[in-house]
Chains A and B, each alone.
Chain A
Amino acid sequence: MKNNSTGFVENPVVENPWRRLREFTDARIGLGRAGVSLPTKELLEFQLSHARARDAVHFPLDCDGLISAIEDSDVISSRVSDIHRLHSRASDRMEYLQRPDLGRRLNEHSRALLQHDISGGAGSDVDVSSEYDLGIVIVDGLSSLAVQQNVVPFLETLLPHLYDYSLAPISIVEQGRVAVGDEVGELLNARCVIVLIGERPGLSSPDSLGLYLTYKPHVGLTDAARNCISNIRPAGLSYSEAARRTQYLLDESRHLKLSGVNLKDRTQVDVVETVSSNKNFLIS
Chain B
Amino acid sequence: MKYSYTAGQQTWHFENLAEVMAKATPARSGDRLAGVIARSAEERVIAQMVLADVPLKTFLNEALVPYEDDEVTRLIIDEHDAQAFSAISHLTVGDFRNWLLSDMATPDVLTGVRAGITPEMAAAVSKIMRNQDLILVAKKCHVKTAFRNTIGLPGHLSTRLQPNHPTDDVNGIAASILDGLLYGNGDAVIGINPATDNVAQAIKLMTLMDEVISKYEIPTQSCVLTHVTNTIECIEAGAPVDLVFQSIGGTEATNSSFGFNIATLAEAQDAALSLKRGTVGNNVMYFETGQGSSLSANAHHGLDQQTCEVRAYAVARKFNPLLINTVVGFIGPEYLFDGKEIIRAGLEDHFCAKLLGLPMGCDVCYTNHAEADQNDMDNLLTLLGVAGCSFVMGIPGSDDIMLNYQTTSFHDALYARRVLGSQPAPEFAQWLARMQIMGDAFVLNDALPEPFARSLNSLPPASGQH
Residues of A within 8 A of B (CB): 1-2, 14, 16-31, 33, 35-38, 42, 46-47, 49-50, 53-54, 56-57, 97-101, 142, 200-206, 270-273, 275, 278-284
Task: Give 5 closest A-B pairs by Cβ, nearest first.
Answer: A28-B397, A202-B404, A25-B172, A36-B414, A280-B174
Q: Which residue of A lies closest to B333 (CB)?
A: A97
Q: Size of chain B's interface in residues, with CB distance under 8 A?
A: 70
Given contact pairs A23-B466, A25-B172, a sample of 15 additional A-B residue pairs in the complex whose CB atoms are under 8 Å apart:
A27-B176, A30-B179, A36-B183, A46-B398, A97-B333, A97-B334, A100-B33, A201-B369, A280-B173, A280-B174, A281-B174, A281-B455, A282-B455, A283-B211, A284-B455
Residues of B within 8 A of A (CB): 29, 32-33, 163-179, 182-183, 195-196, 200-201, 204, 207-208, 211-212, 215-216, 332-334, 337, 367-369, 373-374, 395-399, 401, 404-406, 409, 411, 414-415, 417-418, 442, 444, 446, 448, 452, 455-456, 458-459, 462-463, 465-466
Q: Which residue of B lies closest to A49 (CB)?
A: B399
Q: Is the CB of A97 within 8 A of B369?
A: yes
**Whole-angstrom CA separation of A206 from B396 in the bound complex:** 19
Contacts A98-B32, A270-B196, A278-B204 given; indicate if A27 touches B396 (C-beta within 8 A). Answer: yes
With a cutoff of 8 Å between Cβ atoms, the chain B residues found around residue A280 in the complex are 170-171, 173-174, 208
Contacts A50-B368, A279-B170 given; indicate if A203 touches B404 (C-beta within 8 A). Answer: yes
Q: Is the CB of B399 within 8 A of A281?
A: no
Q: Is the CB of B175 within 8 A of A18?
A: yes
Q: Which residue of A lies closest to B371 (CB)?
A: A97
Q: Is the CB of A14 within 8 A of B446?
A: yes
Please pick, from A20, A21, A57, A284, the residue contacting B369 in the complex, using a CB distance under 8 A. A57
Contacts A28-B396, A271-B167 given; indicate if A17 touches B448 (C-beta within 8 A). Answer: yes
With a cutoff of 8 Å between Cβ atoms, the chain A residues found around residue B33 in the complex are 98-101
Please pick, from B163, B174, B334, the residue contacting A100 in the complex, using a CB distance under 8 A. B334
Least distance between A154 CB and chain B CB atoms (Å): 20
Contacts A17-B456, A36-B414 given; indicate if A282 touches B444 (C-beta within 8 A). Answer: no
Contacts A203-B406, A281-B459, A284-B455 given; indicate if A2 touches B176 (C-beta within 8 A). Answer: no
**Whole-angstrom CA separation of A283 from B174 in the bound complex:** 9
Q: Is the CB of B179 within 8 A of A204?
A: no
Q: Which of A16, A17, A27, A53 has the most CB of B within 10 A?
A: A27
**Whole-angstrom CA separation of A101 from B177 in the bound complex:** 40
Least distance between A197 CB and chain B CB atoms (Å): 13
Q: Is the CB of A23 within 8 A of B169?
A: no
Q: Is the CB of B404 within 8 A of A42?
A: no
**Whole-angstrom CA separation of A178 from B263 in the bound complex:** 35
**Whole-angstrom CA separation of A210 from B179 in the bound complex:** 32
**Whole-angstrom CA separation of A206 from B399 in the bound complex:** 13
With a cutoff of 8 Å between Cβ atoms, the chain B residues found around residue A26 in the complex are 166, 401
**Whole-angstrom CA separation of A251 from B210 in the bound complex:** 44
Q: Is the CB of A281 within 8 A of B215?
A: no
Q: Is the CB of B178 within 8 A of A282?
A: yes
**Whole-angstrom CA separation of A121 from B21 in the bound complex:** 52
**Whole-angstrom CA separation of A99 from B37 in the bound complex:** 14
Q: Which residue of B lies closest to A45 (CB)?
A: B397
Q: Which residue of B lies closest to A33 (CB)?
A: B411
With a cutoff of 8 Å between Cβ atoms, the chain A residues found around residue B207 in the complex are 278
Q: Is the CB of A23 within 8 A of B462?
A: yes
With a cutoff of 8 Å between Cβ atoms, the chain A residues found around residue B172 in the complex are 24-25, 27
Least distance between A147 CB and chain B CB atoms (Å): 15
**Whole-angstrom CA separation of A26 from B415 in the bound complex:** 24
Q: Which of A49, A53, A98, A99 has the most CB of B within 10 A?
A: A98
Q: Which residue of B lies closest to A208 (CB)?
A: B404
Least distance between B29 CB and chain A CB atoms (Å): 5
Q: Is the CB of B399 within 8 A of A204?
A: yes
What are 22 residue pairs bridging A and B, where the CB atoms are less than 8 Å apart in the complex? A2-B446, A18-B179, A18-B456, A24-B174, A27-B175, A31-B397, A35-B418, A36-B414, A46-B374, A47-B374, A49-B399, A97-B334, A201-B368, A201-B404, A203-B401, A203-B406, A278-B170, A280-B208, A281-B174, A281-B175, A281-B458, A283-B208
Q: Is the CB of A24 within 8 A of B175?
A: yes
Least distance between B408 CB and chain A CB atoms (Å): 12
Please pick, from A19, A37, A142, A282, the residue contacting B177 in the complex, using a CB distance under 8 A. A282
